[in-house]
Amino acid sequence: MEILDPCTGTGTYVTELIEYLPADKLEHKYKHEIHCNEMAILPYYIANLNIEFTYAQKMGNYEEFKNICLVDTLDHCGFGGKQFDLFAMSVQNTARIQSQNDKKISVIIGNPPYNAHQENFNQRNANRSYQGIDKAIKDSYIKEGTAQNQIVVYDMYTRFFRWASDRLGEKGLIAFITNRSFIDSKTFDGFRKCLDREFDFVYIVDTQSDVRNNPKISGTKNNVFGIQAGIAVMFLVRNRKEKK
């Protein structure tokens, strides 16, 4: 089973995976089945260090981690491995992107960036348009939506949901921690409708931590990131053989 963190930052989720996996299975997973991407150079280098350090601590030997790519994940929507861009700076990095694009990914985990009313994470990520993924959003979430102004649906986190939903094959799982706005906002009705259609099971842990909408809580102590925007964890399961 191949696992991908498409916006890995400093690699915390991958290091947690390394900690979690049984030592006798880890070498194979580490070398072949754990993948991650990061588009900013500084966290990319830190992720490299963190991942390799965590592996060495657990296994007692150093092993280069070859499955991290310096790349803008959302620029790769065709999954044909044919696109090379400015981020694919070195021959080695280009080869890694190609290799990842050729893999059948069945688990996608992460903590994508988000824009709308965001307190701090988007400072790492300048807003830009993404032709491929934005078209996919227009043809799905927006098309199914009924609100007049749906601009917020082109949030970075929904772009990652769209990307991950298209990246998975017939069977798989997405687990993202994101802004919770998709749960009850009217503007996200199309998004919710599409999740219902595209997945067989949807589990949401709503941390009820939207400070602006909940007068009973205040400050920045009420969610895991110390920010005011509400946070949710969503698990999307696609298993075509099961009954919905």
Ligand X SMILES: C[S@@+](CC[C@H](N)C(=O)[O-])C[C@H]1O[C@@H](n2cnc3c(N)ncnc32)[C@H](O)[C@@H]1O
In sequence order, the 6+-apart residues with CB closer than 8 A to the CB of 148 are none
Return the exposure string of 136-160: e unless at least 16 CB atoms fall within 10 Å of the residue's CB, then b: bbeebbbeebeeeebebbbbbbbbb
Of 54, 73, 106, 165, the residue at the interface with ligand X (CB under 6 A) is 73
- Name which of 152 and 175 has its Cβ closer to ligand X: 175
Of 9, 145, 190, 230, the residue at the interface with ligand X (CB under 6 A) is 9
Residue 97 binding ligand X, by CB under 6 A: no
Stretch touching ligand X by CB under 6 A, among 11-19, 99-107, 192-200, 235-243: 11-19
- Name which of 147 and 175 has its Cβ closer to ligand X: 175
Could you give the CA distance from residue 27 to residue 31 in angstroms, rounded to a whole number? 6
Of 113, 145, 172, 190, the residue at the interface with ligand X (CB under 6 A) is 113
Ranked by CB distance to ligand X, the top (closest) residue is: 9
Let me know: does 114 contact 157? Beta carbons within 8 Å. Answer: yes
Residue 7 binding ligand X, by CB under 6 A: yes
Could you give the CA distance from residue 90 to residue 93 in angstroms, rounded to a whole number? 5
Of 33, 52, 72, 210, the residue at the interface with ligand X (CB under 6 A) is 72
Q: Give all strands (DSSP E) within 77-230, no chain letters.
A: 107-110, 171-179, 201-206
* Residue ranges in contact with ligand X by CB under 6 A: 7-13, 37-40, 43, 72-74, 111, 113, 121, 124-125
